[in-house]
Amino acid sequence: MLIVMKKSATEIALQEVKQYLIDRDFDFHQSTGANRIILGVIGNTNTLDSARLKALPGVLEIFKIPAEED
């Protein structure tokens, strides 16, 4: 799962999203670009509530990465 933060997202909003993930035992990798911050969530994200995540302040978009088929 990728979480794209709004360009205008505050540090507090970013910390809220990170804490939401930590509280649910997920790891993530942060990529900070010139205009956006993207969090790559590591693990089985099927248990995450995408609507709840998207409703958090500062979140622009969420992209689910489909499971690899064998």
Predicted structure pTM score: 0.90
Cβ-contact 59, 17 below 8 angstroms: yes
pLDDT in tens, 36-57: 999 999 988 988 999 999 999 9
Q: Which fold has domain 2-63?
A: Alpha-Beta Plaits (3.30.70)
- pLDDT (tens digit, 9 = 90+) per residue, 6-30? 999 999 999 999 999 999 999 999 9
